[in-house]
Structure 1
Amino acid sequence: MSDSSSPRTAQARLPLAGAPHGGALLRSLTGLLARWLPRQRWFAGKGRPLSGLTLIAATELLPCTAGGGAPGLLHLLIRTRQSPAPGSHAPPVGDCYQLLLGVRDALPPSLGPALVGRPSEGPLRGASVYEALHDPRLAAVLLERLRTPGRLGTLSFRRAPGAHIPEGLPARLMTSEQSNSSVVYGESHILKLFRRVSPGVNPDLELPLALAAAGCPRVPGPSAWFEAAWPGTVSEPLTLGVLAPFLPGSVDGWQLAIQYLGRRADFTSAAHSLGRATAEVHTTLAEALPTSVMGRAQLEQAATGMSERLAEAAAAVPALRPYRAGLRRAFEALADFARRGGTCPVQRLHGDLHLGQVLLTPDARGRGMHWSIIDFEGEPARPLAERRRPGPVARDIAGMLRSFDYAAAQARAAGSWVDGWSRASRAAYCRGYAEAAGSDPLERPELLRAHETDKAVYEVLYEARHRPAWLHVPMAAIRRLAAAPD
């Protein structure tokens, strides 16, 4: 893919990574990014001092030249270096982030909140550098690149065969994202941009492609995507963004559950059909991609890993410490299940299934509403290789069961009836799953309890770091799970 479509290509080009003055670009942006990055919701390194930045790659999607009049668009891959938290003896850590920066001589007032800063030196000296996704004009450039497959620098744009992507769609940035960023184009497509990236196919591309090829109607298949090659290596490319059909008229499961709770309405029918939808996706994934079986050694290793995560979380969150002994019983029961000869099938999973990852959508055939499942990225805090690893379906089921508790917690002040609402919804979901899958997730209670406990521990750590006001929600589950009988 060339830049010949840009009216500004005749102007002097910005020195980028690998060019003689590529270091000048990074030096001019380092101070601005060091202040700006930790304030972003998708920045994963909160609580650890940012000690350095390395420019991995830089690509001009639109030329970034001073005095050009029109905005420029710069794509960066930046590796961070972070010192351990105060008092910790852990080694420094780092992540690779995808940044899309707009460049203008002067920033209009509407884009003021998106300002990153104004470099005082280097090739962008005096220009206004800002978060490009807030600029509909620059967000539209990404859509046009995805409509026209090809390469640009280290970036590669690909389009699914037969995908219809209209041109000229208005862009709007969604403001509810946490670990990523999403842009909606008109009412037909949505682009998810992964912020923290690493070599390897992101499961949010890999699994929907496999499900679409298998004809699963529960998951919208990707229309286009783009990725980057890691300079100077032969490693797998980094998945940077996925364009998928937007599902207008949909309501996500979280909003729906909150609406039902607000009316004190029974949710069991919706939960039952959601259980069936989950089982259909699991069944298709097991048919389309390799599966395996966990034996004694693997199950014992899984139980040990859960115990270690509990110890790490308790070290970081003091409120968790009084419940360690009770929570470990769930992991000990899983290890005992393995020692008694228990085994567990494993397959590719959603990886982060909850009510916010499912949509009640108008059926394309005019047969009412049906559940669609989205966002197959997995838990963003976990390494990519771990998120791509097959696992027990109990992990996804436990995530959804925890989500019913989260929803009920929003209405807990309204009375004790919400505990019954959550229990009934959880049971209906499991029944629906069992009917569609042909196997009941409650047949292996050790697996389900261990994974629900592990999920609750993860939630405690996440909420303590990112949303302290929500910490009481997983702590309620921690108290229940720690007190559960063997």
Structure 2
Amino acid sequence: MSTALAHVLRDWMPHQRWFGGKGREWADVSEEGFFLSRSEPVLSVHRVRVTYADGAVETYLVPLSWRAHPEEDLTSAFVGAVPVKDAEGADRENYAYDALRDRDATTPWLTHLAAASTVGPMHFSPSGSSAIPEGVPGDVISTEQSNTSLVYGQDAILKLFRRLEPGLNPDVEIGEALRRTENPHIAPLLGHVEIDTPDGEPATVAMLQTFVPNASDGWRLATASVRDLYAEGDLHADEVGGDFAADSERLGAATASVHADLARVLPTEAADRDWFAATARGMGERLEAALAVVPQLEEHLERLRAVYAAVADSPETVVRQRVHGDFHLGQVLRTATGWVVLDFEGEPARPLAERRQLDSPMRDVAGMLRSFDYAARHMLVEQPDDPQRAYRAQEWAVRNRGAFCAGYSAASGIDPCGDSPLLRAFEADKAVYECVYEARNRPNWLMIPLQSLSRLTAGEA
């Protein structure tokens, strides 16, 4: 069955949102699996090793549920039919489904976590004394890109990391550290799952956190505020009923709180001149690579190089620490009591070792400032030549960026948005990344980061 299943997975995986090798030529695929549950439906977990034509190798985790007959209710989760022999030796087919979209197959994950089980190469580790809900099926969140999450009622959310890399995932490492601080701005970690690898160091498979019910996504709240502003042609941003600045200020304070606790419970290190030089060099290398994808960057080239060079010569004092690493409005939730920060795994496309490195908190600040910029300007894509909208977008962005920085400063005593060459370079580096992403995925959005680069390289807000 293993060879037949590998062929089925080869056809199915490229169409999944979480698969990172879209468009790449496959040279080979192999899989190895084990049973996580033999109840009905049978649940198996497979490590699928994909070798590309350029020699690169990636390993993905694929849980499958198995049925003896096709299930009409699971058509959207169907993976493929695999030929097998029954007890009498007759040929028949087993029907494989994406187990995370098969509610009947989702309960064993929490059962094993509550029991701290070891099943084959997989190890389940509960955290602390918080109760893990058992016997409740999980519902998949369909909007995720690189991972897959299941919500179990109103109590817990399980995130499964699809691409396997040896080492502890930063989301688990940071979640465990912050759980001990009782920081009010995180969702407490309830447990995690690891799997043995041929390299000897286990890979993180999944993590379970407290679910945050009745919460609003930061991006949706911010963009709703922008729409309110656009709808009021004669009012300024601070006069509109949907003004977001108070929330932005509280988000700044929450961010500073999380940064402070990360520095308290995880390692820190003063940045030396070599770090500044390496940071500037990395930005320059990413810029050169981006030019091949986005020729429009040429007009900003010299000024961007100057922005990056200022980092290498910066007199700033920087204490490196663990940070979020991929911070934006889509990574925060507003609840009745304040903001909650999610997803501390960093940029999933970067190697795990890089995501666990110490960095400046200003990288997170820059990420959020870029997110405010996107929220303000995303509707300009529809009317790029409307000067009134462009003016109002800039007004909203300046107001909310300033409010975020004010909140951060009040909570930490550090003004993150002062005259910092490092912060400006982090923003510019992020905007260059955005240019590449938009050129490849949403060309009509490319105007947003390109216009931002014009402001950033001119020293404007």
Could you say whether these structures have the same fold, taking a TM-score greater than 0.5 normalized by the shorter chain as the test?
Answer: yes
* 1:246 to 2:211 alignment: yes
* 1:216 to 2:183 alignment: yes
User: How far apart are 1:459 and its partner, in Å?
Assistant: 2.1
Task: Choose which of 285, 295, 308 in structure 2 pairs with 1:308.
Answer: 285
Give the match's secondary structure for 1:225: strand
In structure 2, the CA distance between the partners of 1:346 and 1:478, relative to structure 1 (3 Å rule), is same
5 Å-filtered alignment, 1:229-308, equals: 229-231=196-198, 233-235=199-201, 237-264=202-229, 265-308=242-285
* 1:411 to 2:387 alignment: no
Contact 1:326 1:481 in 2 (8 A): no
- Counterpart-to-counterpart distance in 1, 2:11 and 2:451: 36
Give the match's secondary structure for 2:51: strand
- Counterpart-to-counterpart distance in 2, 1:424 and 1:176: 30
Contact 2:316 2:420 in 1 (8 A): no
Which of 460-469 and 400-409 deviates more? 460-469
Structure 1 segments, 4+ long, off by >6 Å, are 121-125
* 1:73 to 2:73 alignment: no
- Counterpart-to-counterpart distance in 2, 1:321 and 1:59: 52
The percentage of counterpart residues that share the same residue type is 41
* 1:323 to 2:273 alignment: no
- Counterpart-to-counterpart distance in 1, 2:459 and 2:324: 27
Deviations along 1:375-427, whole A, 9 cap, x unmatched? 11111111111111010011000000011011112333482312110111001
Contact 1:296 1:342 in 2 (8 A): no
- Counterpart-to-counterpart distance in 2, 1:462 and 1:165: 39
In structure 2, the CA distance between the partners of 1:130 and 1:321, relative to structure 1 (3 Å rule), is farther
- Counterpart-to-counterpart distance in 1, 2:246 and 2:460: 29
- Counterpart-to-counterpart distance in 1, 2:66 and 2:409: 54
Contact 2:133 2:156 in 1 (8 A): no
Give the match's secondary structure for 2:292: helix
- Counterpart-to-counterpart distance in 2, 1:444 and 1:48: 43
* 1:389 to 2:364 alignment: no
Other-structure match for 1:475: 450
- Counterpart-to-counterpart distance in 1, 2:370 and 2:418: 19
* 1:151 to 2:118 alignment: yes
Which of 307-316 and 154-163 deviates more? 307-316
Listed as ranges, the gaps of 5+ residues in structure 2 are: 230-241
5 Å-filtered alignment, 1:415-434, equals: 415-416=389-390, 417-434=392-409
Deviations along 1:20-51, whole A, 9 cap, x unmatched? xxxx51x1122222222121111112232122
Task: Choose which of 401, 418, 421 in structure 1 pairs with 2:369.
Answer: 401
* 1:118 to 2:81 alignment: yes
The amino acid that maps onto 1:61 is L
Contact 2:107 2:134 in 1 (8 A): no
TM-score by length of 1: 0.85
Contact 1:28 1:121 in 2 (8 A): no
TM-score by length of 2: 0.90
* 1:134 to 2:108 alignment: no
Contact 2:110 2:133 in 1 (8 A): no
- Counterpart-to-counterpart distance in 2, 1:253 and 1:347: 25
Other-structure match for 2:344: 376
Task: Choose which of 327, 348, 352 in structure 2 pairs with 1:353.
Answer: 327
In structure 2, the CA distance between the partners of 1:184 and 1:484, relative to structure 1 (3 Å rule), is same
Contact 2:269 2:320 in 1 (8 A): yes
Contact 1:295 1:342 in 2 (8 A): no
User: How far apart are 1:229 and its partner, in Å?
Assistant: 1.1
- Counterpart-to-counterpart distance in 2, 1:54 and 1:468: 36
Which of 418-427 and 441-450 deviates more? 441-450
- Counterpart-to-counterpart distance in 2, 1:94 and 1:103: 27
Listed as ranges, the gaps of 5+ residues in structure 1 are: 1-23, 65-69, 85-91, 363-368
Other-structure match for 1:106: 69
User: How far apart are 1:370 and its partner, in Å?
Assistant: 0.6
User: How far apart are 1:444 and its partner, in Å?
Assistant: 5.0
Give the match's secondary structure for 1:254: helix
Q: CA RMSD in A?
A: 2.2
Which of 472-481 and 268-277 deviates more? 472-481
Deviations along 1:95-118, whole A, 9 cap, x unmatched? 121111122122222211111222
- Counterpart-to-counterpart distance in 1, 2:14 and 2:85: 23
Which of 160-169 and 398-407 deviates more? 160-169
Other-structure match for 2:239: none
The amino acid that maps onto 1:44 is G
User: How far apart are 1:361 and its partner, in Å?
Assistant: 1.2
Give the match's secondary structure for 2:106: helix
Other-structure match for 2:153: 186
Other-structure match for 2:37: 62
In the alignment of these two chains, the number of paired residues is 438
